[in-house]
Amino acid sequence: MPLLGWTFPLCLYSVNNPKDLKLIKKAGFSCIQTYQTDPEKLEALALEAKKWDMQVVFYPNKLRNTPYAQKAQQWPILAWYLVDEPDVHKWARQKVVALHQQTQQAFPYHSTVLVISQGKTAIPFYDIPDVMMVDWYPVPHLALTSFGDNVAWTKQGMTERDAGNRPLWGVVQIFDWKNFKQHRPDNDRIGRFPTEDEIRFMSYHGILSGATGLFYFTFNHQGKPLPKSAPEYWKRVTAVTKELAKFKEILENGTPAANPISVETPLMMQTWQYKGYLYSVVLNTSNQSHPLPTTLKDKSFKALYGRNKEDLLPPYYVLILKHKQ
């Protein structure tokens, strides 16, 4: 199994034009995914990504046994994308295993990844690829916390298959369900684009639930790049990803540490030690306001990224605190 260097990828789905990478890099992303499979288009994206010190996630299908397989050794491949939601498309486990083995044989210097649509699957795909992903898109019809729940269930499935030490990347919703085909065309179309606070909560809830990287679906909005088709939505996304681009230094280089206090549901808390300071992420996982613990009100706990320490944490609030050891 190829070893991935310990990084916390922030990736964007459905990027097709190399000219968009400058803007995407500026937004805090470190890698891109595309559904394109044409080798020439993949090479153009890979070379542009390399220019911006970014990585790529590609389908390997049309590259195997071609001259591009050799060229790909020099591409900034984060992982080869095996299959999208084999649980939804009813792929047999052995079919996925065979695809992983073919890809591993063709590209032994890179890792493989696949994404499942939910944390609990009837067929255990958890130990097949080098990296697991899970996508779960709850806005607005499901509980916001179900995203982190599915990340946690995926982690549990990986652990049960002796793959718990492998990377796990969660896919955060940045789209409106109304823009996609409904499973029940007779039903009313329900959907809206997530708010900035919802995108932020899902991102950090995913991290505290076990995600070691985050992808965002999708850059393609109604047939156009999101910044052009809906700049107000792109602003919601980038407010979160620019923040995470700063915080990922702590995720990558910090050391897990004991929380300064014990918290109970609906609060979640996780702490890292980095350069002489402790950084704690505090989440209110409830749809109701919840009191901030008294200890955390002390001035020694500094709130980061322009967020305030409210006496009552709003629903689905994310608070990041910096404090001395």
Q: Which residue, chain included where needed, has tokens 């992903």?
A: 133
Type and span of the H or E element at 211: none
Portion of the chain with pLDDT greater than 90, in percent = 94
Per-residue model confidence (pLDDT) at position 190: 87
Joined together, the tokens standing for residue 203 give 């991102």
Say yes or no to pLDDT of 233 above 80: yes
67 CB burial (10 A radius; 0-12, 13-18, 19+): exposed
Per-residue model confidence (pLDDT) at position 34: 98
- Rg (Cα) of the chain, in Å, rounded? 20
Residue ranges of domains in the chain: 10-253, 256-324
pLDDT digits (tens, 9 = 90+) for 270-316: 999 999 999 999 999 999 999 999 999 999 999 999 999 999 999 99
| pLDDT level of residue 1 (50, 70, 90 thresholds) | low
pLDDT digits (tens, 9 = 90+) for 83-139: 999 999 999 999 999 999 999 999 999 999 999 999 999 999 999 999 999 999 999
Per-residue model confidence (pLDDT) at position 189: 75
In terms of phi and psi (left: phi > 0; alpha: psi -120 to 50; beta: otherwise), the region of 275 is left
The verdict on pTM exceeding 0.85 is: yes
Write out the CATH class of domain 256-324.
mainly beta
Bond before 218 cis per omega within 30 degrees: yes
Say yes or no to pLDDT of 3 above 60: no
Per-residue model confidence (pLDDT) at position 56: 98
pLDDT digits (tens, 9 = 90+) for 167-217: 999 999 999 999 987 666 666 778 999 999 999 999 999 999 999 999 999
Which amino acid, 309? K
| pLDDT level of residue 4 (50, 70, 90 thresholds) | low
Per-residue model confidence (pLDDT) at position 181: 78
> Could you give the C-alpha distances from 67 to 14, 55, 60, 64, 104, in angstroms and in order?
25, 21, 13, 8, 17
- Residue 316 sits at φ, ψ, to 5 deg, of 55, 40
Joined together, the tokens standing for residue 296 give 């955390």
Biggest CA-to-CA distance, the chain: 63
Joined together, the tokens standing for residue 307 give 């967020």
| Fold adopted by 10-253 | TIM Barrel (3.20.20)
pLDDT digits (tens, 9 = 90+) for 137-161: 999 999 999 999 999 999 999 999 9
CA-nearest of 62, 4, 10 to 199 is 10
Q: Are 170 and 116 in contact (CB under 8 A)?
A: no
